[in-house]
């Protein structure tokens, strides 16, 4: 009887620990801000951009992200207004009707990621995508994320796009990787180069593919082998560039660079640099320098 009581007590302790761990991460839905904006926009739509900044960007940023490690970037990211009210309403309705599924998938992906890289207390903020980014949303299966810092992730979801469910889990893993890297490495960074950005995104996709290998990712496969080699040759003289505007052009694409080119190239660099020895744990390779990963890849000395 005594042994049974002890066993029951230990079991309760373990269960309590698991429950606490699951509740350690949070999901915050931001519909109220966007619904308030929609109401105000319908009453007065003369200057939707200013109205959006007043009702959405400013209150969200001030309440949640002022002290985030990447606060300036969050501020800019939230500045993209949703001027297409009907599109905004449609995406909000999709989030609301799928709220339980979204929350479940996010928490499951966080816990799955946490088994490989320990970073407790992550909060994920769920928002609808800006109408300005509707095309990008469709290209990314209705989901794209943004890491605000070591403990915060913003995730934009359009449930009308096929494949959003699987991509949501993948995107959380990708951004989770960024949060862990930020926690472990940001304080020691003295500069941020194009190579750093390429490897940063490549690490995120490499980690996410370890957990969700079957998810299709157009951004990591945007370039053929020949086009990756051509882009690499073009970028080699600029790998030390600290011009963030230039870096963003490379990563996302522009008139000068192919769409998603930086994501494809960055993933290829990391994949070829790390896949030679898959026994190395993520908690080790995530802290490798960009130069170390490049040196182990097939791009070294090309």
Evaluate whether residue 37 is within a structural domain. Answer: yes
Residues 125 and 109 placed together within one structural domain of the fold:
yes
How much of the chain exceeds pLDDT 70, in percent?
Answer: 90
Evaluate whether residue 247 is within a structural domain. Answer: yes
Mean pLDDT of 178-194: 96
- Burial tier of 149 (Cβ tally within 10 Å: 0-12, 13-18, 19+): buried
Residues 32 and 119 placed together within one structural domain of the fold:
yes
Among the candidates 186, 208, 233, a domain finishes at 186
Among the candidates 132, 151, 186, a domain finishes at 186
Among the candidates 186, 201, 216, a domain finishes at 186
Evaluate whether residue 13 is within a structural domain. Answer: no
Residues 59 and 152 placed together within one structural domain of the fold:
yes
Residues 33 and 181 placed together within one structural domain of the fold:
yes
Task: Name the nearest CA neighbour of 290 among 148, 223, 194.
Answer: 194
Evaluate whether residue 162 is within a structural domain. Answer: yes
Residues 263 and 222 placed together within one structural domain of the fold:
yes
Contact by Cβ (8 Å): 48, 132: no
Contact by Cβ (8 Å): 124, 28: yes
- Read off the pLDDT of residues 21-33 as tens digits, 9 standing for 90 and up: 344 899 999 999 9
Residue appearing with tokens 């002890």? 6
Evaluate whether residue 101 is within a structural domain. Answer: yes
Chain centre to alpha carbon of residue 234: 27
Mean pLDDT of 227-245: 97
Residues 85 and 180 placed together within one structural domain of the fold:
yes
Residues 267 and 171 placed together within one structural domain of the fold:
no
Task: Name the nearest CA neighbour of 280 among 291, 270, 267, 269.
Answer: 270
Q: Is the pLDDT of residue 4 over 60?
A: no
The pLDDT of residue 216 is 92
Mean pLDDT of 26-50: 94
The number of folded domains in the chain is 2
Evaluate whether residue 16 is within a structural domain. Answer: no
- Read off the pLDDT of residues 48-102 as tens digits, 9 standing for 90 and up: 999 999 999 999 999 999 999 999 999 999 999 899 999 999 999 999 999 999 9
Mean pLDDT of 193-215: 98
Residues 178 and 220 placed together within one structural domain of the fold:
no
For the entire predicted model, the pTM comes to: 0.90
Give the range of the structural domain holding residue 238, as residue numbers without chain letter: 190-296
Residues 222 and 282 placed together within one structural domain of the fold:
yes
Residues 207 and 175 placed together within one structural domain of the fold:
no
Evaluate whether residue 6 is within a structural domain. Answer: no
Q: Report the mean per-residue pLDDT for the chain.
A: 91
Residues 243 and 278 placed together within one structural domain of the fold:
yes
The pLDDT of residue 46 is 83
Rounded Cα distance between 141 and 161, Å, is: 6
Task: Name the nearest CA neighbour of 182 among 147, 137, 225, 222.
Answer: 147
In the structure, what pLDDT confidence band is assigned to residue 2 with cuts at 50, 70 and 90? Answer: very low
Residues 31 and 180 placed together within one structural domain of the fold:
yes
Which helix (H) or strand (E) covers residue 302, if one does? none
In the structure, what pLDDT confidence band is assigned to residue 177 with cuts at 50, 70 and 90? Answer: very high
The pLDDT of residue 166 is 95
Pairing of strands 26-29, 123-127: parallel
The pLDDT of residue 135 is 65
Q: Is the pLDDT of residue 1 over 80?
A: no
Evaluate whether residue 302 is within a structural domain. Answer: no
- Read off the pLDDT of residues 133-166 as tens digits, 9 standing for 90 and up: 766 667 789 999 999 999 999 999 999 999 999 9
Range of weakest confidence among 15-24, 78-87, 266-275 = 15-24
DSSP-assigned letter for residue 241: -
């Amino acid at each position: 009887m005594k042994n049974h009581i002890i066993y029951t007590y230990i079991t309760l302790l373990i269960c309590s620990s698991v429950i606490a761990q699951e509740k350690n991460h949070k999901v915050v839905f931001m519909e109220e801000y966007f619904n308030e904006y929609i109401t105000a926009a319908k009453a007065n739509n003369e200057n939707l951009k200013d109205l959006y900044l007043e009702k959405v960007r400013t209150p969200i940023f001030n309440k949640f992200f002022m002290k985030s490690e990447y606060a300036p970037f969050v501020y800019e990211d939230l500045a993209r207004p949703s001027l297409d009210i009907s599109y905004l309403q449609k995406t909000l309705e999709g989030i609301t009707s799928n709220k339980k599924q979204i929350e479940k998938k996010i928490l499951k992906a966080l816990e799955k990621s946490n088994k490989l890289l320990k970073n407790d207390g992550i909060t994920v903020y769920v928002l609808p995508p800006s109408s300005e980014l509707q095309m990008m949303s469709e290209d990314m299966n209705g989901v794209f994320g943004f890491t605000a810092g070591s403990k915060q992730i913003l995730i934009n979801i359009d449930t009308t796009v096929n494949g959003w469910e699987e991509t949501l889990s993948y995107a959380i893993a990708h951004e989770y990787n960024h949060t862990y890297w930020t926690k472990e490495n940001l304080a020691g960074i003295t500069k941020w180069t194009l190579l750093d950005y390429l490897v940063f995104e490549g690490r995120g996709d490499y980690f996410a593919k370890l957990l969700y290998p079957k998810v299709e990712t157009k951004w990591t496969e945007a370039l053929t082998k020949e086009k990756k080699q051509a882009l690499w040759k073009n970028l080699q003289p600029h790998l030390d560039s600290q011009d963030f505007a230039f870096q963003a052009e490379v990563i996302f694409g522009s008139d000068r660079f192919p769409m998603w080119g930086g994501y494809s190239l960055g993933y290829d660099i990391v994949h070829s640099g790390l896949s030679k020895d898959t026994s190395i744990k993520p908690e080790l390779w995530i802290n490798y320098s960009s130069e170390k990963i490049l040196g182990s890849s097939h791009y070294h000395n090309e």
